[in-house]
Amino acid sequence: MVDFNRFTLANGLRVLVHEDDTTPMAVLNILYDVGARDEEADKTGFAHLFEHLMFGGSVNIPSYDEPLQRVGGENNAFTSNDITNYYITLPAVNLETAFWLESDRMLSLAFSEKSLETQRNVVCEEFKQRYLNQPYGDVWLKLRPLAYKKHPYQWATIGQDLKQIEDAKMEDVKAFFKKHYNPQNAIMVVGGNVKTQDVKALAEKWFAPIAPGEKYLRNLPQEPLQQESRQETVYAKVPLNAIYMAFKMPDRKNPDYQCFDLISDVLSQGQSSRLYNSLLKEQQLFSEIHAYITSSIDEGLFVVEGKLVEGVKMEQAEAAIWKELKKLKEHQVSTDELTKVKNKSESIMVFAEMSLLDKAMNLAYYELLGDAGLLNNEIDRYLAVTAEQMQQAARNTFVKEQCSTLYYLIAKDA
């Protein structure tokens, strides 16, 4: 159970406070309700680029890290297709430094050509190193547009084209900041050895003077129902042939979301899971195989991916995966299997409650989903999933006409 208090500033900034006097530390986490799905098709990668720009200094504080390091603080951030999240951890006695830093860059980020050029180069280099110049690195650059034809989930967080990042202009950057980086579009969580009244005083001092900005109303194109299978074959210099199968699954708020998470665990969690036992250990078709979900706020993906053992035919490996998915459709998961994956999910969530930063990030995310209090009921939703529910979900989902398959094969001259 994660206890918290909540208040909202006049400018629309939502603030949650988790008091924990068992630690001398504090965390300030700010979630901005903007991700790659909010980008324009010809300006992708901007949410991630902006994450980097936010560390380039503000008008009043040219070096973001230096004052934070002086007070024993650390910071980082991440971007997904749905959100951008920034966090600072530091001794609780120095909490005001975190308020000063975060409020200043929300208010007056420094838009210098030098900073843009520097961070643009950093992101371009990351694009090349992580996505273009390593084996299987561009899988999601190919799988997303194969699975999505209308929704902006069709591009990865890094962007769909390196040139779009290279061509990012100052006016585009300023427009993106004005649209998304304002109090109305943010959720702040402060946790640790703090008191709500003190946090409220600091929030009023540092964030209340910031103008609320214009409310961003998201209106994204809906992905139509996929009614025919899709395939794409890629040849590259990779050590092993690989297969990636993606099925649409319900959005994060859907009551069946936890059901799909548990199905992925039945298939792929640990060495007693079905895919590991059958396809890797017994049949020795794969050197590694996984099933997982993207946990997207809009309609997400259920993915099965594996790297084939050398010499195994792709047709044989793919048929073996379909056979395992068919078992889920035809037979209910056993009581023992269901209990095991439920227990694992419960232990993961309990463990997350031991981390101050995890609690802060989770509170912010569940508040974005509608109510931070949902965090305290999440375990119950997993425990309520039935074998019948999982079987029905498998029947509705694991259909060949609704599958997008990427075959990643060793190039002939590799």
- Which residue is associated with the tokens 């001092």? 205
- What's residue 230's pLDDT? 98
d(CA 357, CA 347): 17
d(CA 92, CA 213): 30
User: How many residues are given for the chain?
Assistant: 414
Helical (H) or strand (E) element with 126:
helix 113-126
d(CA 53, CA 111): 9
Q: Is 3.30.830.10 the CATH classification of the domain at 5-208?
A: yes
- What's residue 352's pLDDT? 84
Residues 61/215, Cβ–Cβ less than 8 Å? no
Nearest to 110 by CA among 49, 70, 63: 63
Q: What is the mean pLDDT of residues 146-158?
A: 97
d(CA 309, CA 349): 35
* 5-208 and 230-410 in the same fold: yes
d(CA 114, CA 135): 33
Return the percentage of the chain with pLDDT > 70, whole number.
Answer: 100
Query: Of 50-64, 98-112, 113-127, 132-146, which one has max mean pLDDT?
Result: 132-146
For residue 211, count other CB atoms closer than 10 A to its CB. Answer: 11
Confidence of residue 254 (pLDDT cuts 50, 70, 90): very high
- Dihedral angle computed from the Cα positions of residues 271, 273, 276 and 277, in that order, rounded to the nearest 10 degrees: 90
- What's residue 111's pLDDT? 77
Domain ranges in the chain are 5-208, 230-410
Confidence of residue 412 (pLDDT cuts 50, 70, 90): confident
Confidence of residue 118 (pLDDT cuts 50, 70, 90): confident
- What's residue 56's pLDDT? 77
Task: Please state the separation of Cα 316 from the chain's center in Å.
Answer: 33
Sign for the CA dihedral angle at 120, 122, 125, 130 comes to negative
d(CA 162, CA 131): 10
Higher pLDDT: 60 or 294? It is 294
Beta bridge partners of 32: 84, 186
Confidence of residue 114 (pLDDT cuts 50, 70, 90): confident
Given this structure, which CATH class describes domain 230-410? alpha beta
Confidence of residue 9 (pLDDT cuts 50, 70, 90): very high
DSSP letter for each residue of 334-388 = PHHHHHHHHHHHHHHHHHHTT-HHHHHHHHHHHHHHT-GGGGGGHHHHHHT--HH
Higher pLDDT: 60 or 327? It is 327
Nearest to 13 by CA among 81, 102, 77, 117: 102
Q: pLDDT per residue over 182-217, tens digit each? A: 999 999 999 999 999 999 999 999 999 999 998 888
Residues 172/50, Cβ–Cβ less than 8 Å? no
Question: For residue 388, what are the CA distances in angstroms to 256, 331, 337, 379?
Answer: 12, 9, 13, 19
Q: Is the pLDDT of residue 143 over 80?
A: yes
Q: What is the mean pLDDT of residues 120-137?
A: 92
Helical (H) or strand (E) element with 306:
strand 300-308
d(CA 123, CA 121): 5
The tokens of 287 are what? Answer: 């050197």
Q: Which amino acid, residue 301?
A: L
Residues 403/247, Cβ–Cβ less than 8 Å? yes
Q: What is the mean pLDDT of residues 79-95?
A: 97
* Mean pLDDT for the chain overall: 94
Burial of residue 233 (CB within 10 Å: 0-12, 13-18, 19+) is exposed
Q: What is the mean pLDDT of residues 354-371?
A: 96
Q: What is the mean pLDDT of residues 244-262?
A: 97
Q: In what order do the strands lie in the sheet with 14-19?
A: 5-8, 14-19, 186-192, 25-32, 84-91, 74-79
Beta bridge partners of 186: 32
In the DSSP assignment, the letter for residue 238 is -
Residues 227/294, Cβ–Cβ less than 8 Å? no
Residues 399/42, Cβ–Cβ less than 8 Å? no
The helix/strand/coil state of 183 is: helix
Q: pLDDT per residue over 258-295, tens digit each? A: 999 999 999 999 888 999 999 999 999 999 999 999 99
- What's residue 414's pLDDT? 53
- What's residue 92's pLDDT? 97
Q: Is the pLDDT of residue 124 over 70?
A: yes
Return the percentage of the chain with pLDDT > 90, whole number.
Answer: 83
Question: For residue 170, what are the CA distances in angstroms to 33, 48, 112?
Answer: 22, 15, 8
Residues 131/59, Cβ–Cβ less than 8 Å? no
